[in-house]
Amino acid sequence: MELLRERYEKHFDMEKERVYHVRKQRIPKEAKKDPPTKLWDPPPLLRKLYDLGVPVEIQRLARFANMSPDEAARIVQHAYRCYRGREFMRRILRSRIKKLWDATSGRYYYYNITTKESSWEKPRLLLNDDDDDDNQSPKAVSHETKITAHGRRRHALMLRSEKFHSEEAAARTIQALYRRFATRKSMLELLSRRYRKIMDPVSGQPYYYDSVAGTATWFKPAVLGDYDLELFDDSAASASGRRRSTIIAPHASSSLSIVSKLPHISDRARLKRHKRRLQRLRQMSRDEAASRLQRMWRTRRAKKELRELLFDAYERIFDPTTEHYYYYNRKTGVAKWEKPALLVGDGRDIKETKIIKRRRSHTVTAPSEAKLVLLTFMRCAAARLELHRLLQARIQKVFDPNSQQYYYFDKLTGQSSWKKPVTLKGYDLTPA
């Protein structure tokens, strides 16, 4: 009998008012559970010899009817805690899951801002939410979204009546509201200094740049709430208001990190933009086209002259501590890790300057030590002049008419070379 109870269950169908049996299936947890098949006719062994007793549904109803108030309260409390837990998880999912529109496929997809994952399927806990159709465009549901958002905000502003039952309670409530308003205003001022809303010229969409962390995101920071920032105009910022670069640690340029996070532009959108530009060019008159070409030529010449000035002003220096190169402006005294923007596309390299280490870690102040240093400089200069005299007597600089270049001939060894001897350094010989 116990073996039969382990294999079969007796149930009661409320619609057909009939008893049926179900054969239990032993399925592992990872496997998919299929709905059990109903056996309206009991198995032969149960029909002839045994009976499983009262159906499962009747036993459950009898257990509920004979339950004490404490047991019923525990079941209701457990169900309520489950409900509160599901609602809490739904709130967390709503704050993390963003519903975005994909213009290519004409559908919505769901993006998790925490795990940086996207999916076409809606999360299971949010399936029963009253939401818009996934195939509707954002324009069709914008009006309904505004109405629901307005309704939620009005509901949040409602105050309980017990907060105004006396003058003291009303005064405390007004003071608390004012402090909350002042705190929110000061917080928004701090956030407006840290975050900047910048328009991306490639995609035409604004993004938010964190000037402290140096990161960029397409989503509005959650701390802003219902408020939004104004578009930041970089051209309007004064030179004194911009930050000067300092050597702290080598890091990638913020513009490169922002460009790496730009969304992919489809070929269709790029083709449309190209056609619009061609259409504007075809509609130009001759005078407009000539003025535009002249402006482009003057811009190119100005950029070229500015590049030459930057090449003369900047030096590339190797930092042995971080093992990276940095760029130093000799005129302004500003050093930065990023190469100047106008010199990025140029094929030439900025001249490298090596830092000459001091031979002495201390400053020479004693007269005897200063005398020794001056004598050493005089001996080095005399030895260098003697070396140049010997090289002029031994090395001869000769012009080659075939290659139209000079080469150096060693009279003692009879060898010739196109390269100048290393010992000459910044000096050179007079041609023979």
Nearest to 407 by CA among 371, 391, 431, 427: 431
pLDDT value of position 29 = 53
User: How many Cβ atoms are within 10 Å of 370's Cβ, its own excluded?
Assistant: 11
Contact 352, 364 (CB under 8 A): no
Residue 251 is assigned to a structural domain of this protein:
yes
Last residue of a domain, one of 156, 188, 209: 156
Q: Are residues 266 and 344 in the same domain?
A: yes
Residue 362 is assigned to a structural domain of this protein:
no
Residue 430 is assigned to a structural domain of this protein:
no
Structure confidence by residue, pLDDT tens digits, 247-263: 333 344 444 444 444 44
Q: Sheet of 18-23: strands edge to edge?
A: 8-13, 18-23, 38-39
Q: Are residues 117 and 208 in the same domain?
A: no
Which residues does the chain have with pLDDT short of 70? 1-7, 14, 17, 25-54, 56-58, 130-162, 234-266, 354-358
Domain count, the chain: 5
Q: Are residues 135 and 185 in the same domain?
A: no
Q: Is 0.85 surpassed by the pTM of this model?
A: no
Q: Are residues 372 and 348 in the same domain?
A: no
pLDDT value of position 320 = 77
Q: Are residues 199 and 303 in the same domain?
A: no
Residue 106 is assigned to a structural domain of this protein:
yes
Residue 432 is assigned to a structural domain of this protein:
no
Q: Are residues 270 and 337 in the same domain?
A: yes
Q: Are residues 344 and 309 in the same domain?
A: yes
Q: Are residues 378 and 319 in the same domain?
A: no
Structural domain including 400 reads 367-424
Q: Are residues 186 and 268 in the same domain?
A: no
**DSSP assignment, residue 63?**
H
Q: Are residues 168 and 75 in the same domain?
A: no
pLDDT value of position 46 = 56
pLDDT value of position 37 = 66
* Helix, strand, coil content of the chain in percent (nearest 5): 45, 15, 40
- Please give the structure tokens belonging to residue 171: 């005064």
Average pLDDT, the chain: 76
pLDDT value of position 243 = 38
Residue 38 is assigned to a structural domain of this protein:
yes
Last residue of a domain, one of 65, 84, 112: 65
Residue 133 is assigned to a structural domain of this protein:
yes
Residue 431 is assigned to a structural domain of this protein:
no
Q: Are residues 296 and 320 in the same domain?
A: yes
Last residue of a domain, one of 221, 241, 261: 241
Token look-up 């000769």 returns 398
pLDDT value of position 388 = 86
Bridge partners of 407, per DSSP, are: 398
* Pairing state between β 395-400 and 405-410: antiparallel
pLDDT value of position 240 = 39
Q: Are residues 259 and 346 in the same domain?
A: yes
* Structural Rg of the chain based on CA atoms: 41
Measured CA to CA in angstroms, residue 418 lies from 347, 392, 397, 405, 415 at distances of: 26, 16, 10, 8, 11
